[in-house]
Every structure is written in structure tokens, then in C-alpha cells.
């Protein structure tokens, strides 16, 4: 089950549930009495520590047009992981003397209107928060930002393949593979012995050469792996 369908774990107790591409239970509000996760919940999750590293890429590569860097983002108010990421980045931006301009985007159908509104705030860069609405509306977000000369950064390598400039984060395929391997072990053995909810293991720094060049940004010889085309 993915981030958008994790709620059923609160109702399903008689079979194992293997989560993927979502946060750990404490972030999702799935901790029960004694801060324990549901006993039948396995697979892989993520905390928000990687967000700091991803956001820092912007400060290392983008020069502000004004006195300080202005970064825009949208977040989904109905997704706990998205709200938590926004709150974490808001605190981090204040510490880094960055102005964070954020607007709620709860439906991909509203993406163009919201992104165009955000762009009127003269942002220097856009951070694509890894939530379902951003994933669904990414091409709309990307086109509007690119048309206005605003580079898009993120914390998910798959969005870099789709045109974002750079990221530090998990690869969605590898993340799913890690969860799938657990599910396969259960199906093979018919037992949950030895299985546990894990942190996603594979994270990497990646950049899209075409997107970077379009915004005059360089990542060669910086430890970033090139992806996309």
C-alpha cells in the first residue's frame, strides 16, 4: 500500500500490510497506545531528515535575485507527511534566512492556478514536496516554473527524471522493490517471522543535466549522479 492508501491499515488487522513510498507510522499518525505501530504493518518508510539535505541543495546552487533567497512550495493539507514536510521546511528556512512562500494545493486540478499565484511572489526556486498532489501535477508545476525561469528542486529522484533540476532522496523504484522483497518473503514462507517495518535504504544525489543547463546550474564533479535525458 502506498501513501494514499495507508489508512486501511487502521481497519485491517488480520493480514500483513506492506507499506511503500510513504512516511513512518509516527508521522502518519498511526502510532497506537505506547507509541507502537500496528502489529501487522511491514514494508518500508521514510522520516523527514532527508528533506533538510534536499532543501540545502537550493542554497548551494541558486543565487538570490534580492537580499535573500526566496523558495516557493505547495503542500497538501490532507496528507500528514506533506504538512509535516512544510512545517519542517518552514523552520529550516527561518534558520537559513530564506523566505519560504508556500500555498496549499489539495487537488492537482488546481495546480496551474496555485502555481501561477505562487510565481507572483518572485521566487528564486521551487521545492517540489514529495506528496501525491505534486506527483500528479508535476508537469504543470514544472512547465509554469520553467516558463518563468524558476528552477525546480525536490527530494525524490523520479521527479528529477521527469525534469526537476536535482534531488537528494529515495528512488521510488528501489523503494518499492525493498517493500516488495518483504512481501515476497511473506508469500514464500507464509510467516512474518523476521519481518519488520524498515527505513528506506537507498538514497542518492541526482541531477538532470538538461534541466540544470537550462537554468545555468552546474553539478559536474559534485558527487551527483546524472539521470533523465
Q: Provide the edge-to-edge strand list for the sheet that holds 198-199.
A: 17-19, 41-45, 198-199
Residue recorded with cell 548551494: 60
Parallel/antiparallel/unpaired status of strands 225-227 and 203-208: parallel
120 neighbors 91 (Cβ within 8 angstroms)? no
Question: What pLDDT shows up at residue 8?
Answer: 66
pLDDT at 166 over 70: yes
Each residue of 72-97: pLDDT tens digit? 999 999 888 888 889 999 999 999 99
Whether 5 has a pLDDT exceeding 50, the answer reads no
Is 148 in a helix, a strand, or coil? Answer: coil
Q: Residue 4: pLDDT above 60?
A: no
Q: What is the pLDDT of residue 221?
A: 67
Tens digits of per-residue pLDDT, 89-148?
999 999 999 999 999 999 999 999 999 999 999 999 999 988 889 999 999 999 999 999
Q: Mean of the per-residue pLDDT values for the chain?
A: 88
Please give the residue that has the higher pLDDT: either 226 or 47. Answer: 226
How do beta strands 166-170 and 203-208 pair? antiparallel
User: Where residue 50 falls among pLDDT bands split at 50, 70, 90?
Assistant: confident
Amino acid at each position: 500500500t502506498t501513501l494514499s492508501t495507508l489508512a486501511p491499515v487502521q481497519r485491517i488487522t488480520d493480514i500483513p500490510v506492506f507499506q511503500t513510498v510513504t512516511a513512518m507510522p509516527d508521522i502518519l499518525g498511526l502510532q497506537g497506545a505506547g507509541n507502537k505501530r500496528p502489529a501487522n504493518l511491514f514494508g518500508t518508510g521514510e522520516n523527514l531528515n532527508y528533506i533538510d539535505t534536499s532543501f540545502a541543495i537550493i542554497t548551494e546552487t541558486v543565487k538570490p535575485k534580492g537580499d535573500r533567497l526566496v523558495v516557493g512550495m505547495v503542500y497538501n493539507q490532507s496528507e500528514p507527511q506533506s504538512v509535516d514536510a512544510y512545517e519542517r521546511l518552514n523552520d529550516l528556512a527561518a534558520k537559513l534566512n530564506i523566505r519560504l512562500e508556500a500555498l496549499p494545493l489539495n487537488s492537482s486540478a488546481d495546480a496551474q492556478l496555485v502555481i501561477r499565484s505562487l510565481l507572483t511572489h518572485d521566487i528564486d526556486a521551487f521545492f517540489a514536496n514529495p506528496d501525491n498532489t505534486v506527483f500528479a501535477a508535476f508537469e504543470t508545476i514544472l512547465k509554469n516554473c520553467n516558463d518563468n525561469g524558476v528552477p525546480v528542486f525536490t527530494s525524490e529522484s523520479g521527479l528529477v527524471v521527469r525534469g526537476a533540476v536535482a534531488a537528494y532522496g529515495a528512488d521510488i523504484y528501489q523503494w518499492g522493490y525493498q517493500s516488495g522483497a518483504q512481501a515476497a518473503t511473506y508469500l514464500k514462507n507464509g510467516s512474518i517471522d523476521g519481518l519488520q517495518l524498515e527505513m528506506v535504504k537507498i538514497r542518492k544525489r541526482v541531477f538532470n543535466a538538461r534541466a540544470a543547463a537550462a537554468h545555468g546550474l552546474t553539478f559536474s564533479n559534485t558527487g551527483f549522479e546524472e539521470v533523465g535525458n
